[in-house]
Every structure is written in structure tokens, then in C-alpha cells.
Structure 1
Amino acid sequence: MQAAVYDERICELGEGPFWHPERGQLFWFDILGRRLLTRAADRTQEWRFDEHVSAAGWIDRDTLLIASETGLYRFGIATGARSLLHPLEAENPETRSNDGRADPFGGFWIGTMGKRAQDGAGAIYRMHEGRIVKLFDAITIPNSICFAPDGRTAYFADTPRRQILRQPLDAAGWPTGAPAVFVDLNAEGLNPDGSVVDAEGALWNAQWGAGRVARYLPDGTLDRVVPVGGRHSSCPAFGGAGLRDLFVTTAREGLSDPQPGDGVVYSAVQTIAGLAEHRVSI
């Protein structure tokens, strides 16, 4: 099932797509372009920032939580105004935010990484009930942050290790015990980027450099592949009618010969529905 172009605006590093369930609207980022973009039907809009921005969740119909290289912010969709909720490695000019997602408990997980992808320079944090806690450190490129439908499992990856990990969670959404390998992509030479979980508990993973999104069943078995035209497929999200549209961001970063399909957003209708993004509680 080949994906079609959903939005033709070029992103150097398209990332962080999410469907606002109350607005019926897709948002995504161009991290290196320092932009937040959106599309609702035929209406498009974008906002520019003075620092890298990478991931978001929704607080209410008119307010987002946005992760930047220095903090987590409230962001007014109508006004473009933002206010700081929590600093995020603001004292370290060498790092920025990367992949992130709201969890089923109203928390928000966010990864950081070196701006030059320095080995082990990043970490993964959770914001919950007014505080930020570091969950994992020595991460190079944090990705694939997503959650099982019952809220008792989180997934994440450190892309250069080419493994997606499964992390058990306790009844409040905190990690308990050590993570285990969910999918190992080393034998195939595939690079796991962003992921999202569908209503059946399967994980859809965008694979950087492979121009595709792969669906893995809860036991880690490969179920299907959706090709996209952009070689650097970076992150999927479900939205649209019945949450059956699979949206995929792509990137041009690192390509010596970018083609027209590199860096745009794609979509493909699926027979399986996604899950609505969880509200962030602040």
C-alpha cells in the first residue's frame, strides 16, 4: 500500500506528527527548520521559533505542550504565544529535544540528544504531576517513544543500536524493571525512528533511510510494510476519519541528492485504526 503525498511543504527534518483529537488536525515539526506546521483539510499554517522544536502533545483544544531544546512550553494555537512549564537541559547548549509523546497517565515522555548526534549525549525524561524525572541516560538518538493501549508498556529506541525496546510500567506509568528487546533490526541493517501504537496494540515504526513504515505485532512479528516516497521516513501518526489515516513525516537531512518526495508528509488509509493521542495533564 503506497502512501500518497499529504503535504508538499519541504522539511529538512520532518518529525513529531500528531493528530489533535478535538480539533481533527495534524501538527508536525521541521526540527532543523525550527518550525511547527499544521494542516486541517485545505488550510495550512506554520509557526517559526528561535530554537529547535521537535515534539508536542495537547493540553486542551486551543493549547499544546511543545518540547524545545531548552524546555517544555505551553503554546497557544491561536496566538502563537508560549510560556515555560519546565526547563529541559537548558544549561547544555550542545543538546536539543527529539522524539516525545504523551502517555496514558497524562505524563509526557521526551528524549534529548546532541545537536551533532554525539554518542551518549542524550536522555529520556518524563514530565508528570509537575515534575520532570530522568528515566534513561547515555542515549544517542532517542526515538520510538509510544505506549501500549493498556498503559503498562512503553516502547523506545536508541536509533544507532538498531533495537526497539519494551519497558514495563507500573500502575502510575513509571518504569519498573529493566527494558527488554522488542524488535532487533541489526540483521536487516534498519534504523528505527519514530513509532506509534495502534488500537490492536501493534507498533508502527518509521525506518530512517528505508522509505517505509513497518508494523510489528505485540510479539514482535513483522506484519506489514507501508512504503513512502521519502527515503528518510521519520515518524508515523494516526488521524483522519476513524483514526485510519497513517501520516508519515520524512526528512532531507544528510541526503546529497534530495528528490521532490524527500522531506514531505505522506498519508495512507489503513484497515486498522490508531489510538487517539492522550491529553497532557499539567
Structure 2
Amino acid sequence: MNNKTPSSPCLGEARVLHDQRCELGEGPGWDAARGEFRWLDIIGRQLHRHRLEDDQHRIIELAQLTSFAAPLSDGDDLLVTEHGLMVMEHAHGTVSPWRDVEADNGVTRSNDARLDRHGGLWFSSMGKSAQPEAGSLYRLYRGEVTVLRRQISIPNAICFSADGHYAWFADTPTQKVMRWRLDDQGFPLREDGTPFSQDTQPDELVAPEVWADFSDDIGSPDGAVIDADGYMWLALWGAGRVARLSPEGEEVAHIKVAANHTTCPAFGGANLDTLLITTATEGLDNLDDGLQHGATFVIELADILPGVRGQADEPLHLR
């Protein structure tokens, strides 16, 4: 159980990479082919791209609420938006619908998403006003979209073990991080032991187990990523920190962030040992308290935990 004041050692404080404030910074990822981090301001409808080599920063304005941008094998990007999955041409920025998901549901938008270890993409939806149980968890795999779980309020912490055997996620208001065992195709196991199929319903899946409980913590589980050693790096909304959790789900260390609402981490850089952290101003009344709410931060893990690095993500194939 975690305490309101973290008892884990502080590894250091992240520095600001880009100081433009995001109302809801989310969906960070690393584009290895271009040597750049990308992240979204969901509410601000912006895609940020930041090249590490020369700090070149580019902002792309978007027409829809968008929470993630996955590099595609052909060089374009797949956007996870409030109306579903869309393809954005990298050269010109033209956005075209690819798969409708909750496109006729004006209540919801997309939220957390992450590429898995089997060539798929897990993504989620939630109420635009965080309506209880309005959201769902989906998986895109080999061109097909299936629903894995319904009645989620604020889906977060989607991430995967390096061997592809486990997936994690959180419904933030529950304060718990859940873990699912996966089959050899990367789907959650079925209760009856039969293989997952496109007709499988969420209530036919084995229930995920509670892996970490933050009920006594001032922070709430938000975005997460697993490093190559099997440790989770979990952003805690409201706590100004990113916790490092052991493979057993215990907080063993943390990174301090000069922003209350840390939202999601991602590994990047040539050696995947730079940790980027997005933050948000959403829900904050005082933005002049000396902190840098909504900025985007980084910390060099080589300086504090030599040898620790992230997992490399392969570009997504749509078919």
C-alpha cells in the first residue's frame, strides 16, 4: 500500500523539454525513424513532434480530439481520435477516416493507447466529462477492431511486458492497476479456455487481477510504460511524480515532476534511455504557483539508473 508521502527514494527531478502548456498532455511515444518524440494535447487538439538531435519542435493542429499517434510502417501515422482511427499522411498532414469507433457517440472521446508486443494497438474511450462507466477498451489487430472491456470510467496505464504475456491497464477512479494474462496472439484469455475470436464478448474473458493498489496515495494511476527489465513507470495524476514499480507491483523509486498532474511517460532517444513525461493543466485553478503545469518533461535515465532502457516499438501495420 502506498503512502501519501512517497517513501520510495527519489531518483531525481525531470527537466522541462518544452514549456508550452498542454491542457491535457497525453499519448507520448517515440518515432525512431525520425528521432523524435510525439505527444498530444487532447483538449487543445494538437500533435507535438520534438526532434531530440536539434530540439526542432513542430505542432500540428488537429480537427478532432486525439489522444495517440502511432507510426505506421509506410511512414504515415494512425491517429486515435474521438470518432475512431484515422490515417494522417506524414508529408502533407491530410487526415482520412480508417475505422469508425464510437463515431456516433457524442458523449465519448479517445483516451489512453499503446502499441502492444504482438503488432497490435490497444486504445480506449471515456466520457468527455468523465461520465462513470462511459468508456471502453479496444484492440486493433491485423486490421480488425475488437472490444475487450466496457463500462470503464477513465481508462489508463495500458502497457505490456516485453515477452507479450501480460497487459496492464487502470480505471483511474478505482486507484488500482490491473493485469491480464494474454494468449499467444496478444488477447486476454477466455474463461472457457477456447481461443479468442472476433465474436468473443468482454464478459467471456478471464477477469484481470489487481496488481498494484494506490488507494492510500494522493496520486491516481494515469499513463504507464514497462521498461526492458519489467519495471513499470507510472504517472500519478495529482502527485507530481512518476513511480517506478517492481515486477511485483511495489513502488521502488520515483521521479519528481514540477507539475501536479503527471499524465504519461514514454521511452525514447537513440538508446531508449530518455524518459519523456507529459503533464496537464486540466482542473487546476492556479497556474502561477511557481510550477510548470502542462509542460513536457524529460529525464536522462543513463545519469540516474545506468543500463535501464525502454522497449523498442515496431511501426504498426494496418493489414
The answer, yes or no, to whether TM exceeds 0.5 is yes
Say whether the 8 Å CA contact 1:14–1:30 is kept in structure 2. Answer: yes
* Structure 1 equivalent of residue 256 of structure 2: 227
2:295 is aligned with 1:264: yes
Task: Work out the CA distance in 2 between the residues paired with 1:281 and 1:61.
Answer: 8
Shift in Å, 1:60: 2.6
Deviation per residue, 1:235-271 (Å, 9 max, x gap): 0001113111110000000000014500010001112
**Of 247, 252, 257, the match for 2:281:** 252
* Structure 2 equivalent of residue 191 of structure 1: 220
Deviation per residue, 1:183-222 (Å, 9 max, x gap): 0000224300000010101110000010110011111121
* Structure 2 equivalent of residue 137 of structure 1: 150
Higher strand proportion, which one?
A: 1
**Of 176, 185, 188, the match for 1:163:** 176
* Structure 1 equivalent of residue 6 of structure 2: none
Question: What do you get for the CA RMSD once the two structures are aligned?
Answer: 1.1
* Structure 2 equivalent of residue 279 of structure 1: 315
Partner secondary structure for residue 118 of structure 1:
coil
Say whether the 8 Å CA contact 1:162–1:189 is kept in structure 2. Answer: no
Task: Work out the CA distance in 1 between the residues paired with 2:211 and 2:92.
Answer: 42
Say whether the 8 Å CA contact 2:211–2:249 is kept in structure 1. Answer: yes
AA aligned to 2:298 is S
* Structure 1 equivalent of residue 241 of structure 2: 212
AA aligned to 1:9 is Q
AA aligned to 2:295 is V
- In the TM superposition, 1:146-185 aligns within 5 A as 146-176=159-189, 177-185=206-214
Q: CA distance change for structure 1 residues 39 and 152 in 2, over 3 Å: closer, same or farther?
A: same
More displaced stretch, 254-263 vs 202-211: 254-263
* Structure 1 equivalent of residue 140 of structure 2: 127
Partner secondary structure for residue 13 of structure 2:
coil
Structure 2: gaps spanning 5 or more residues: 1-11, 190-205
Deviation per residue, 1:102-145 (Å, 9 max, x gap): 11111111110000000000000001112111100000000000
**Of 72, 79, 101, the match for 1:66:** 79
Shift in Å, 1:57: 1.5
Aligned-pair identity (%): 41
Task: Work out the CA distance in 2 between the residues paired with 1:190 and 1:255.
Answer: 15
Task: Work out the CA distance in 2 between the residues paired with 1:246 and 1:261.
Answer: 17
Q: For the pair shown, which has the larger CA radius of gyration, 1 or 2?
A: 2
AA aligned to 2:309 is A
Say whether the 8 Å CA contact 1:70–1:90 is kept in structure 2. Answer: yes
Structure 1: gaps spanning 5 or more residues: none
Equivalent pairs counted in the alignment come to: 282
Partner secondary structure for residue 123 of structure 1:
strand
TM-score (norm 2): 0.86
Say whether the 8 Å CA contact 2:218–2:239 is kept in structure 1. Answer: no
2:213 is aligned with 1:202: no
More displaced stretch, 16-25 vs 111-120: 16-25
Shift in Å, 1:61: 6.4
Partner secondary structure for residue 241 of structure 1:
coil
AA aligned to 2:97 is L
* Structure 1 equivalent of residue 91 of structure 2: 78
